[in-house]
Structure 1
């Protein structure tokens, strides 16, 4: 894909569409089950900017900020937002099924939790993205 994404004779819009059609789906494979921490979010945003720099043929040594690169490409950061939308859709799917995935996601399994700091759950990440009360509203609305 490097020859297509860096080709000067193909318009930038076409190259961005090729990126969106062929590269981003491979990058986001299985993203519905990811727990996105601050570090992962930063890496995803850096990857998105790196792709745009490659399309625009801007070397990493050039003194251009990420905002200037986004303006040049006439694009906004959308990768993390797309992942979060996919996660909310997948969460709704899980909540309607009421199978093992539902029990795991809602934390209604019998038994003790392990010692130490607890792992971040998918609902925790969505709560920070949607807002504190919106996840429980979404869960109860889907449940009905």
Structure 2
């Protein structure tokens, strides 16, 4: 895809569309189960900017800010919000099923906790992304499918 994405004869809009259709789905495979920390979020944003810089043929040594690159590409940063939307949709599906996946996702399994710093849970990252406050609020919101979809849509619009 490098020859298509870096071809100056193809409009930037078409090249961006090719990136969204062919590269991003491969890149985001399985993102519904990722726990995204601040460090992971920075890496994902850097990867998104790397794609755009390659597409615009901007050298990594060129002193162009990310904002100017985004302006040239006529876009904004969308990757993190796309991943958040996919995670929220999947989380709502799992919570409405009320099976084993529900117990695993919410972390309500019996047993001892491991030593050291505890790993971040999917629900904690999701409540941060949705700015829902408490994880219990998010879990309760998943029961009402229309309410959950509007929560996701409102967050997607920001």
State the Cα distance separating 1:117 from its structure 2 match.
1.3
Partner Cα separation in structure 2 for residue 36 and residue 69 of structure 1: 25
Partner Cα separation in structure 2 for residue 87 and residue 4 of structure 1: 30
Q: Show the counterpart of 1:8.
A: 8
Matches within 5 A, 1:1-144: 1-133=1-133, 135-143=135-143
Q: Show the counterpart of 2:150.
A: none
Structure 2: 5+ residue runs without aligned partners? 145-158
- Give the count of matched residue pairs: 144
State the Cα distance separating 1:137 from its structure 2 match.
2.3
State the Cα distance separating 1:112 from its structure 2 match.
1.6
* TM-score, with structure 1 as normaliser: 0.94
Q: Is the 8 A contact 2:31 2:83 kept in 1?
A: yes
Partner Cα separation in structure 1 for residue 135 and residue 115 of structure 2: 26
Partner Cα separation in structure 2 for residue 15 and residue 135 of structure 1: 39
State the Cα distance separating 1:57 from its structure 2 match.
1.0
- Summarize deviations over 1:61-86 as a string: whole Å, max 9, x none: 11100000001111000001100000
CA RMSD of aligned residues (A): 1.3
* TM-score, with structure 2 as normaliser: 0.86
- Summarize deviations over 1:89-136 as a string: whole Å, max 9, x none: 000010011111101122221222122211110011112212252643
